[in-house]
Amino acid sequence: MSKPPIKRVSARELRKMFNDGQYWEQVKQGTLQSIVVANNHPSSPRANEPVCTRSQYIIYVNTESEKVAGVHQYLRTDGTIGASGRPDPKELLVDGILYIPEPD
């Protein structure tokens, strides 16, 4: 399988695409499956999250096991998501194009 073309967009635009596409809602409904690929203590004190919060990278896959999104989130011990309260998208595959954020 060939790699899709990459298009860089602003973090704001990527979040809008993620929210408009309702990726997180699809995971909660079971339409997409989430797979935790990294689960660590936050590496930056700037995260400003409670003790024992986990810094996670999660991919979302469709029914054909194809990755359609990658997100970062801070999972707190009470099960809530830190920072904005929603996963932060880092990659989205839309119509055969892989959207990623512009460098900071």
61 belongs to a structural domain: yes
Give me the count of residues in the chain: 104
- The string of pLDDT tens digits covering residues 17-68 is 999 999 999 999 999 999 999 999 887 777 788 888 999 999 999 999 999 9
Please write down the HEC assignment for all residues of 1-59: CCCCCEEEECHHHHHHHHHHCCHHHHHHHCCCEEEEEEEECCCCHHHCCCCCCEEEEEE
Does the residue 11 lie in any domain? yes
Total count of domains within the chain: 1
Phi, psi dihedrals of residue 25, rounded to the nearest 5°: -65, -35
Q: What is the pLDDT of residue 52?
A: 87
Contact 91, 98 (CB under 8 A): yes
Q: What is the pTM of this model?
A: 0.91
Domain assignment present for residue 16? The answer is yes
Classify residue 104: in a domain, yes or no: no
Alpha-carbon dihedral sign for residues 15, 27, 71, 92: negative
1 is a domain residue = no
Model confidence at 84, pLDDT cuts 50, 70, 90, reads: confident
**What pairing do the DSSP bridges indicate for beta strands 6-9 and 97-101?**
parallel
Instruction: Give residue 70's domain range.
Output: 6-43+50-99
